[in-house]
Amino acid sequence: MAAIQDLRMRPCPPMLSVPTNYRDVEVRLPPSLRRFGERTRVRITGNFDGPVVAALGGISGSRFVCRGENGEPGWWADLIGEGQAIDPAKFCVLGVDFAADPTGRCAPSSEDQARVLEAALEAAAIPRLHAIVGASYGGMVALSFAEHFADRVEKLVIISAGGEPHPAASATRELQRRIVALGIERGAGEQALSIARGMAMLSYRTPAEFGERFRGGIESENPLETSEPGAYLRARGDAFTAVMSPERFLSLSGSIDRHRIDPARIATPALLIGATSDQLVPPSQTIALAAELAGPTELHLLDCLCGHDMFLKQAASVGRLIKPFLDQRR
């Protein structure tokens, strides 16, 4: 498989509890996936001689798992760091930039993304993963990878992900995509993406959390006055446009709804973690997946105010389950 490698080790600015070395690998996508771009990139961080753990998150996740592009903490720094569940002093951590159609007209499947990960392993000369820790969309990709490349991964940690999309979640995402598509058509793609992201945040979190954090309602006669929770959603939506284009969002949001796996074909030992308050992946889906997987499976459902975003907002609780699972050797 053709690949362009960039394996130069680069020093990073010193920062507490974050690894100081990394290498980037440029991955040429297989011809069958070129509609999603010519190439993508992965970042390898931590102990280059240790067991390799791939860390995959939601559609806005990137290869900057431990440390950001400019030296700031990465998007999962609360789980991956010195003394944490995934310690870069012990593990080699692999982060991936998901492939997506830059025009927004085509959505990859979770199997397509699994093939992107397989291409990345080839490019980085990694024969086998110790584990994939996948949350949300990343959990879907992890499941698909284990279904199609079982000999290349020893363990799975699946957080807030099911074997297929829940119908209510698909309906919510379809409305978001319609808003973004209309925005692109009217020349207001970023504004539409901000609104869609605000809608998504309502499904990532819980009514209980909003009740604790904000006061509802508006004060004036102006129906477009911004409420307290509305201001928060505007801010989160506007921040999202800095890391996601409207077209890439359409491609990856659609990809979530193309996810389908056959649990009976997955025999890889798995740790499943879900939130009892998750509105996108209800506990019933996590329980069903645990019962249907062919391999040994450990299931935990945690009470969490933050719902689907538990893997980001309660990383310490999740990490206490992940650490012993990763430390066990077969």
- What digits encode the pLDDT tens for the residues 172-197? 999 999 999 999 999 999 999 999 99
Q: How far apart are CA 239 and CA 233, in angstroms?
A: 10
Of 131, 80, 154, the C-alpha closest to 319 is 80
Which of the following is catalytic: 87, 112, 278, 309? 278
Q: Quick check: is 245 catalytic?
A: no
Mean pLDDT of the chain: 92
Contact residues for 281 (Cβ-Cβ < 8 A; gap 6+): 160, 161, 162, 166, 169, 274, 308
Contact residues for 308 (Cβ-Cβ < 8 A; gap 6+): 136, 160, 203, 204, 205, 275, 278, 279, 280, 281
Considering the domain delimited by 10-166+257-327, tell me its CATH architecture: 3-Layer(aba) Sandwich (3.40)
Which of the following is catalytic: 112, 160, 253, 308? 308
Q: Tokens 């000369």 label which residue?
A: 125
- What digits encode the pLDDT tens for the residues 240-294? 999 999 999 999 999 999 999 999 999 999 999 999 999 999 999 999 999 999 9
Q: How many residues appear in the chain?
A: 330
Q: What is the pTM of this model?
A: 0.92
Q: Quick check: is 136 catalytic?
A: yes
Of 95, 73, 64, 84, the C-alpha closest to 18 is 73
Domain boundaries, the chain: 10-166+257-327
Which of the following is catalytic: 110, 136, 251, 277? 136
Q: Quick check: is 308 catalytic?
A: yes
In this predicted structure, the answer to whether residue 205 has a pLDDT above a threshold of 80 is: yes
